[in-house]
Each structure stands twice: as C-alpha cells, then as structure tokens.
Amino acid sequence: MSSGAPVYLDYAATSPADPRVAAAMSECLTRDGVFGNPSSMHQHGRLARECVERARAQAAALIHVQPRQLVWTSGATESNNLAILGTARATAKRGRHLVTARTEHKSVLDPCHRLEHEGFQVTYLDTDHEGLIAPERVRAALRDDTVLVSIMHVNNEIGVLQDIAAIAAICQERAVPLHVDAAQSAGKVAVDVARLRCDLLSFTAHKLYGPKGIGALYFAPARRASLQPLMFGGGQERGLRSGTLAVHQIVGFGVACELAAAAWPTDAERCERLRARLWLGLQALDGVLLNGHATRRVAGILNVSFTGIEGESLLMGLSELSLSTGSACTSDNDEPSYVLRALGRDTELAQSSLRFSFGRYSCEEDIDVAIAAVTREVRRLRAVAP
Amino acid sequence: MNPGTVNSGAEDPLGPQVRVLFAALRHAGEPAAAAITARVLCGEAGREQRGTRVRFMLRLVGDRLVEVRYRAYGCPYTLAACEWLAQQLESGGRDSIGGPAEWAQKLRIPPARLGRLLVVEDALRAALAAADKTMTDS
C-alpha cells in the first residue's frame, strides 16, 4: 500500500492484478508481442491461439476439468447469464422451472427475473439465519419440470460456503443440472468440479488477482447441447460465445489461475489469521454481530453489523479504509442488503453492516488500522445517537 | 450485488461542506450540565427503523435562545444538516435557517436525500414550537 492511501479491505469486490499477471498481459498487446487474432490462420494468429489454449489449460487446472470444457466470457456476470438463460431457453420444451436462492448474486437473480418475464417459474429458496441452504430444501423445491438449479459456492456478502456436493447429489438423483457461481471461491478454496459434481460453474479473473473483463464458464460435456448462446457473430468458442477473443485478458486470467492454484492454501491460511484478529479486535466493542455462519465460510470475508449505528455514516467516517457496507448507500437507493434481510436481520442491523474482505496483500498492520478506525467511529456515532 | 463501495478517491461523495460538518459534530450531545436549570425544550422526529431519528434541544434564557444541541441517528447528510442548523441557530437565530430545500442547496445535499432533511425539519420545528409555547405561557 502506498503511504497515505486507504487500507484496501475490499478484495471481495475486486483484487489488484498480480504483477506477474500484468507482465504476461503486456506481452500480448504491442507489435513485438502476441497481438494477433487467435481466429486467424497466419502465424500471428496461431501464436495467439497457442496463448489462449495455454491459458485455457491453466484455468481448467484450477477447477480440475478438461480445457475443452471451458468457454471464455467477459466475467462471472456473463457466465451466470449464459448458464441460466442459455440452459433455460435451450431446454424450455422439457420444462420451465428453475430453483435458486434469495441470497444469490444479482447476476443470478436478474436472469431468473428475466426468465419469469418469459414465462418460466422460479423458486427462490430461503436460507437459515446463518446464510446456509439446507440441501433438503433443494430437494423439496425440485419439480418434474425443473430444468436448472443455481446455487452459489461462496456468498459474496457474508462469505458462507454452501454444501454444493450435497446439493449436487440431490440434483443428480432427479437428473436436474446444477449451476454454481464460484466467483468468490475459485482461487480461494479448493474448487474441484469432480468433487462438487456440478454441471456448470462460473468464475472470473479479477477476484483472483487477474484482470477485470474476463471470466469463464465450465460446462459438463453432456451440457453442451443444452446451452443456447447469448451472443452471435463469428462463432468463436464453438459457437457458445461469439466475439474476437481478448488474448491479453485471457492470458492474464490463465497466469492468475496458475498462481492461485499454487498460492491459495497459503493465502487462505493467512486470511484466516487476519480475519480472526479483526473479529477479536471488533468484539471489544459492544453490540457487534457476525453475519453468516461462524465456521462454514471462506477465509477472506468478515461481515459484521453494529447495533445503534447507521451504516452509511459509519462507512463515510472510515476514510482511511476502502471497504463495503450492507447498505447500498452510494447509490440513491436506501434499501439495506437483501442478503442480510434474507438472514432475518432487521432493517437497522442490515443497514449497519460492514463487509471486510482481505487477500494476498493484506497484512496485520492493515487489520490493526481497521480495528482502530472502526472502534473510533462506532463510539463517536453511538455518542451522537438519541 | 456488491454492496455499496466507497474509498477516499479524488472526489469525496459527501462533498466538502458535508464532510467538514460530519467530521466535527461539535453541537452533538446535551446542553451544558451547569445550565440544566434553564429551560430546555426538545423536539424529536423519525425512527431508527426508517433510517433517521433526530432530537433537537434548545436552551432558553428568558426569551433568548442561547444554546442548541442535538442527537441524531442517520446518514452523514442528516448529521451534517443537524450540525449546520445548530450553528446557524446559535449565531443567527431562527430567522436565519430557512427550509430543507435551502439547506440542501447550501450544503450540496443530493435531492434524493431530501426525505432525510424533512425528518430533521420536523424535529427542529417541534423544538421551536415547544419554545414558542413556553414563551407564550410565561
């Protein structure tokens, strides 16, 4: 961190690119680098194609699948859209019902809402008060006409880890495909598709120290015929995602995946220690509540509510920190986090939450700065309150 | 979604006036203890569950307003407006304060936050009405 800059504790929003990622990307942009169009047959194109396929192998290795089972996208949002809209529209003759959870990312919920406008029905599962989905709730929601279940691996706001393997087992019993949004888990925890047993899985580069604007969707071989593309044009990516491939971003994603595959256990261990340090420090204040399950969670996210505190004022008082709140306060929308509301938090507590998320470059000093700043502001605002 | 994200980049989302007021809420709290025997009139509005609750306390000596204090739960604009109003009332009296639209203009508060300022106004008007009633009764 540069001197005077705020401490960055928003790794769940995005992460800085690893310098090795940036170096690899820069080699794919200029005349003396690999700038060709990978669809071209000449040497420049073939070199670019080699880089793209190397990156595909790197990304596939991170989640333990075959490279040909990945399609490049612009990020997790597009991957989620492709998985949900693409599957539902392609299999609409078989059924028009989907299952997801109320706590999913908007890039899952909004495509589901879109499908409702197209005549589909969607069951939105409730979580328990700790943010977990009981696999039996999925079983109870499945119908004969269910064509897809979509459940996220790690929740982006509260960090809880869902039991995907158990949910997948239920889906397989009923031959219903399972899509998993792994944007917050790939490169942070073990993501092995063979163990998760999902049919579709979304992940993205910028959450794991890669560039923004590039992601991927894994699809099981049997699912290819059940995926309708959203974009049409040059027929790239075997017709699933037309458009000239962004070689520099793909290369960056590949390097980021390779680095993450080696570094995530160490990163996770350090983040676990940092999270414990932060939680201990914050608990010195009264009225501090953990949002989400205490142990079934990813290491790098801690979401906390503070009683008697208005979230936007708390956040705005913390100018030495870059982090997120459960209140959508920077927009004109006063609505509190729908995820925290789904957990049963009242409006006041949902609005008073902060999401701390740390990563590879976080250190103990950052955590200590955060504890001191939050303690100061919570005490100041409570002293002002009626 | 990603929750609302803020960092202290080049442009402060609060704007300079609100930032300065919000950073130093000097009039927050109770009227001075030594003066508690004087008449202190209160007005309150809002609810925490709705995102804003404000209480103004006015200390009168005779018919003269000598001290303004407040307590508030709300967004930074709410707190800044309370602080600014307390300063204005103490220095210029009640004729100097105007209404929520003027406060928003002077402090560059976004129109979307006008609803919060209406709660501030309700609390202040209630306190001023209590002061008026006290003066009339006496």
pLDDT score, position A2: 47
Q: Give the pLDDT confidence of A195-224 residue by residue, as tens digits.
A: 999 999 999 999 999 999 999 999 999 888
Residue B5 contacts A, CB cutoff 8 Å: yes
Say whether A347 and B5 touch across the interface (CB within 8 A).
no
Say whether B79 and A320 touch across the interface (CB within 8 A).
no
The total number of residues written for chain A in this structure: 386
Measured between CA atoms, the residue of chain A closest to residue B49 is A348
What is the spatial order of strands in the sheet that B52-61 belongs to?
B39-47, B52-61, B64-73
Residue A110 contacts B, CB cutoff 8 Å: no
Q: How far apart are CA A42 and CA B67, in angstroms?
A: 81
H/E element, B111 = none
Count A/B contacts: CB-CB distance under 8 Å. Answer: 101
Residue A214 to residues A24, A202, A225, A266, B105, Cα–Cα distance (Å): 15, 11, 24, 25, 43
- Domain assignment present for residue B12? The answer is no
pLDDT score, position A351: 85
pLDDT score, position B12: 81
Among B3, B14, B112, select the one facing A324 at the smallest CB separation: B3
- Give B62's pLDDT tier (boundaries 50, 70, 90): confident
Mutate to test the interface with A, among B44, B48, B119 (most CBs of A within 10 A): B48
- Domain assignment present for residue B109? The answer is yes
| Ranges of each domain in chain A | 7-15+264-380, 19-259
Residues of B in contact with A346 (CB under 8 A): 49
pLDDT score, position B132: 86
Cβ contacts of A51-54, under 8 Å, gap ≥ 24: A51/A247, A51/A250, A51/A251, A52/A245, A52/A247, A52/A250, A52/A251, A54/A251, A54/A254
Residue A357 contacts B, CB cutoff 8 Å: no
Measured between CA atoms, the residue of chain B closest to residue A347 is B49
Rounded to 5 degrees, φ, ψ at A258 are -65, -45
Mutate to test the interface with B, among A312, A315, A356 (most CBs of B within 10 A): A312
Annotated catalytic sites of A, by residue? 329
- Domain assignment present for residue B123? The answer is yes
Residues of A in contact with B55 (CB under 8 A): 386
ipTM of the complex: 0.89
Among A6, A106, A320, select the one facing B1 at the smallest CB separation: A106
| Closest by Cα among A259, A266, A272 to A208 | A259
Structure tokens at B7: 């960092």
- Give B37's pLDDT tier (boundaries 50, 70, 90): low
Residues of B in contact with A328 (CB under 8 A): 1, 3-4
The residues in A 324-343 lying below 8 A from B, measured between CB atoms, are 324-332, 334, 337-338
Quote the minimal CA–CA distance from A180 to chain B in Å: 16
- Domain assignment present for residue B61? The answer is yes
Mutate to test the interface with A, among B7, B18, B49 (most CBs of A within 10 A): B7
Structure tokens at A240: 């699933």
Range of the domain at B114: 20-137
Given CATH 3.40.50.10380, say whether it is the number of domain A19-259.
no
Say whether A384 and B71 touch across the interface (CB within 8 A).
yes
CATH for B100: 3.90.1010.10
**Coil/strand/helix, residue A21:** helix
Superfamily of domain A7-15+264-380: Aspartate Aminotransferase, domain 1 (3.90.1150.10)
Residue A118 contacts B, CB cutoff 8 Å: no
pLDDT score, position A317: 94
Q: Which residues of chain A have pLDDT under 70?
A: 1-3, 326-334
User: Residues 6 or more apart from A172 whose CB is under 8 A from it?
Assistant: A178, A197
User: Residues 6 or more apart from A5 whose CB is under 8 A from it?
Assistant: none
- Give B2's pLDDT tier (boundaries 50, 70, 90): very low
Asked if residue B33 has pLDDT above 70, the reply is: no
The residues in B 32-61 lying below 8 A from A, measured between CB atoms, are 44, 48-49, 51, 53-55
Q: Tell me, what DSSP letter sits at residue B38? A: S
Say whether B79 and A313 touch across the interface (CB within 8 A).
yes
Tally of structural domains, chain B: 1
pLDDT score, position B8: 43
Measured between CA atoms, the residue of chain B closest to residue A339 is B1
